Structure 1
Amino acid sequence: MEGYLLLHGFAGSPADLQPVAQMLKQEGRLLRCPVLAGHGSGRDRMRTVSWEDWVDSAEGSLIQLKDVTPRVNVIGFSLGALIGVMLSQRQRIHRLILLSPPALPTAQELIQGATEVARGPLAIHRRMGSGASIKEYFRRLTRSPVQAIHELYQLMKAVEPVYGELDMPVLIIHGAKDELAHPRGARRVYEQIPSEEKRLVILPHSRHLILKDDEVEQVLKEVRSFLTPAPSLV
C-alpha cells in the first residue's frame, strides 16, 4: 500500500486538489489532505505563522502516513509544491508531483512585472484575461496579509537550492498561461532536478489553477500515469 499526501496552495484549502483527491479515493488509495498552518482561520491567523510552520504542519500529516506505509507520494499545488520539495529534505518521499510550482523570477521577469504594474490594473487584466480563475487569484491575494506573502517569498528562496538535491521521480505540470507562476520558472526548476526519472508537462490552455481549468482531465491523466509506472520502473 502507498500513501498520498496532498498539499494545497497559498491562502487556499484542500479543495485546491479536490479532483485529484476524488480520483485517489475512488481508487481506494490512502491519503491525507491537511489544512496548512495559518490557513482556514482568517487573516489574523495567517499573520502569526512562518513558512517553517507551513512545512511542519505538512510533515505531521506525512509522518501519520508513514506510520501506516513507508511509501508516500506527495502531490503539491503552488505553495504545496514548494512544501513538498522541502519535505524531501526531512523524509523519504517515493514520488513527487509539483503542480504550478512558483519559482523566483529572473531580473528580466521582475522588470516585466514592474512594467505591467506601472501600466495599471487594466493592463494586468488584459494580459491575464477574465473569468472565475482570475477572480480567485485576486481574492487570495487581497485576503492575505503582507507578512504571509513575505513568508511565501522566503520559502521560494529556501527551496531554490533543494531542487538540485531531488533524487526521487518528479512530475511537474504547469499551465502555459499561468501569470502568477510563469512556465519559464517551471522549466528552470525542471532543468535543476537531477532525478533520473522526471517529466515536465506544459498545458497549453491552462492558467495557475490547473485543477479548476479546462485541461483538468489531462492533469488527472498525467498524475495517474506517473503514479502507476511500468513494472520495470517500480
Structure 2
Amino acid sequence: MSIAYLDRGRCWTNGYWASAVIHLAAVAFDSAVLRLLSKATLMPALASWVHSCDGPPLLVAALLASAAGDLLMELDFLLPGMAMYAAAHACYVALFSHGAQRRSWQVLAAYGVVYLASMVALWPGLGVYRGPVTAYAIMLTATAVTSWWYGGRVGLGGALFLTSDALIGAGLAGHDFPLRNLLLKIAYGAGQYQIALGVLSAGSVAGQSGGSTGRPSVPVVTSSS
C-alpha cells in the first residue's frame, strides 16, 4: 500500500527542507539577506505541498498566514507579525477542534500550567509587549491544546510551535542564551511540518473510511504488492 500524499508534491517538500537547511545556515553565519529569502520560501512551499495533496483549506490558510508572519518578523515588524501568527492560530484551532478525536481535560490543564508559568517567568521583562504577548500566548496555547486533541503527530507539531514562540518570548523578555535563535528556528520548522504531515495523514485515514471521522479527507492511492 502506498499513500498518495507522500509522493504528490514531493518537489514542494524537497524545496521546504532545502529552504529550512539554508535558513539555519544563514542564521548560524548571520547572513541577513539569505535569512530573509530562505524564510520567505518556507511556509509557501509547505502550503503548496498541502494544496497539491488536496489538504484542507484551513491548513493552507494557516500556513500562508504563517508565511506573512515570518516575513514581517524577519523585517522586525513584531506586532504585525504577531497578528498574522494569531490569524494562523485561529485557523489551526478551528481545524483541530472540528477534527478532534478526543478532548482531554488533562491536556488542557497541563498547557494551562505551562501558560501561567511562562507568563510569570517572562512578565517582568516584557515591558510594553505584555499585553500583546499575553493575548498571543492564549492563541498559541489553544493551538497546542487542540493539536493534541486532533492527534499525536499534530500534537507534537503544536508543542514544537509553542516551544519556538516561547523562545521568542524569552528573547523579548531579555532572557537570551547561546543558540536560542537557532533552536527556535529548528522547533518552528519541524513543528509546522509535523502539523501539516499529521493533518494529511489523518485525512488519508478519513478518505479510506469514507470520511466518517469528521476530518477533511485526502485522496489515497493504493497498490497491491
Fold match (TM-score > 0.5) = no
How high is the TM-score relative to the length of structure 2? 0.31
Q: Choose between structure 1 and 2: higher helix proportion.
A: 2
Structure with more strand by fraction: 1
